[in-house]
Structure 1
Amino acid sequence: MIKLDQFLKLLGVASTGGQAKHMIVDGDVQVNGTLETRRGRKLVTGDKVTVGNQTFEVGDLES
């Protein structure tokens, strides 16, 4: 598992944790097609995160 804000930072969508937090709180992020405003939302393999017109799938984080 990985938290949503950490995932955005890992991808490079957000350059800092603070920027990721603002993106999430401002309503710029969807998880599995649903608006998500909790930065601590835990993501699992297969979850789809959408920011703007880009969608990213959470891969197997163990590999």
Structure 2
Amino acid sequence: MSKHLEVPIRDESIRLGQLLKLAGVVQDGAMARMVIENGEVTVDGETVMRRGIQIRPGAVVSYAGESILVTGSPE
């Protein structure tokens, strides 16, 4: 199992599509929408098909073998 890619966010949450772009696992919003709608993305082990879902620090998002751990920004 690969180690998590930690992605800090500034706000209390981020939309799933934005997170995938921020983490660099998709090239753009169109690709994010496609992989989410195709059921290729999970959040905390559950398949999510809405790119607008809010992701909060502590959540683990998985796509294409990458595990992304969302962290809060250091104060």
* TM-score above 0.5: yes
8 Å CA contact 1:5–1:17 kept in 2: the answer is yes
Q: Which has the higher helix share?
A: 1
Segments of 5+ residues of structure 1 without an aligned counterpart are: none
**Matched residue count:** 63
Is 2:28 the counterpart of 1:21? Answer: no
8 Å CA contact 1:45–1:61 kept in 2: the answer is no
The CA RMSD measured in Å over matched residues stands at 1.2
User: With structure 1 as the length reference, what TM-score do the two structures score?
Assistant: 0.93
- List, as ranges, runs of 4+ consecutive aligned residues in structure 1 with deviation greater than 4 Å: none
Q: Cα–Cα, structure 1 residues 43 and 53, in superposed 2: closer, same or farther, change >3 Å?
A: same
Q: Which has the higher contact order (CA 8 A, sep 6+)?
A: 2
User: With structure 2 as the length reference, what TM-score do the two structures score?
Assistant: 0.79
- Give the one of 39, 47, 55 matched to 2:59: 47
Q: Which has the higher strand share?
A: 2
Identity %: 33
Segments of 5+ residues of structure 2 without an aligned counterpart are: 1-12
